[in-house]
Structure 1
Amino acid sequence: MTRVETRHAIHPDQARTMGTEELRRHFHVADLFADGEIRLVYTHYDRVVVGAAVPKGNDLVLDKVEVTKTSTFLERRELGIVNIGDPGTVSAGGQTHELDRGDVLYVGMGSGPVTFSGGGRYYLVSAPAHRSCPTRLIRPADSREVNLGELETSNKRTINQFIHPEVIESCQLTMGYTTLHGGSCWNTMPAHVHDRRMEAYLYFNLDKDQRVFHLMGEPTETRHLVVKNEEGAISPPWSIHAGAGTGSYSFVWAMAGENTDFTDMDMVAMETIR
């Protein structure tokens, strides 16, 4: 079973007027992980799709999705997959890949149906593509690791870059995840925006009663979303994206848009944020 929801793009002027429930309806992503289902959210931000597949003992196939109006989902798209669950397999383009927890699979345009099996909890991000790049499995040891922050400022974290120009070739999708170290809770502060790319987040590795306050909005008109484990946020190009949790956590980040330059960002001075 595949379920698809559509999210339309929101102008920043409109976002300024939104209350909590309206903000959550447009930018908060919940209930992606459902046993025996593929659930997708089709956004009008660079036509990025976020979703999840949870086989739970039965194969799930991502093939034709009506909203894309193509014969197969990947006919003109590329796909990034992160397994945040138990080991499983993903098959595409005549190849089967074994994904352990934390592994990332990049699937190139034109790979045909994608089959999810085993005990995995697969988080999915897809972007339109104009050329096909080789499908490749990237394990954490093969990712580009960047360590940032300090315990003294509560933001010591490790960034693992998987779908990234210095790791593998993709068309426009970049993807990886960040892990906060014990005793740290802040990420991406001072904040930034990148007007040339949208971004999507999935927060995971949170205990049941933990929450992350995801900061969004224009730098001078900030808003927030409260998210729990395995929930996410859609971040428009005009929005900051930072957060603080009630404990340590991890989050998957993915971007698509004008370029794949991870450092292409417009920094926001602390005195500017309101």
Structure 2
Amino acid sequence: MTTNRIVKEIKKKKSFLCIGLDVDLNKIPQHLLKEEDPIFAFNKAIIDATHHLCVAYKPNTAFYEAYGIKGWRALEKTINYLNDKYPEIYTIADAKRGDIGNTSTMYAKAFFEDLGFDSVTVAPYMGKDSVEPFLAFKDKHTILLALTSNQGAFDFQTNPEISGVDGLELYKKVLETSKSWQNSENLMYVVGATKAEFLADIRKIIPASFLLVPGVGAQGGNLQDVCKYGMNSSVGLLINSSRGIIYASQDEDFAQAAAAKAEELQVQMAAVLTKKS
């Protein structure tokens, strides 16, 4: 999917919401455990109830890999359902892959060609030859981990003690360096919502790129701050919320409860977009 199509959907739905499909069988409504495929049954219900309120879905692959082949089949059924019934929705495989050469090519084939995702998250630590194989795929995006929302991000990403002679923190080096990689126009970046105060500096380095911003909701990120510092002329944001939406209820009304939570964010986003225009 091209960036232009994403922007078109954002304008149409007045939303830049991404919903994380991180399915834990210990947290889903217990009546679904009677289903043949409870993971897919849960995802399908959430998707059908919320698709008009969001522009993207992001399954974290760990939540599927943990259940072995059954989990992987549920992931495959989920992405096939999205691509068949809601092809306008942008899909993100939150896999955080990254390895050298042919290995990265195979990871890319797995998510882009076999499963049919629009994008995949990738770790940048091994450098350009671990990322460029992902970038070679036409109309697919590689979402690079830049500044994450976890506490451990301060160990390396923003630690001034490991800055180079130029004084740039590691996350800024990642942003600057990645712009020189082949097909870098296919890059997006992960920036945690709990790091909203860093967004002004980030936008000086990558003013036009889309940012995937997790951490709004259960992790404490603030939507208004993210928009204030991170929004660009084409919006340039995909704000992710996972637990705060999909686990809004453990009763039989779980899908409706999820839709209500998603709508709360969508209404706030619509207000931001109206004010921006």
TM, length-normalised to structure 2: 0.35
Higher strand share: 1
Higher helix share: 2
Asked which structure has the greater RCO (Cα within 8 Å, sep 6+), the reply is: 2
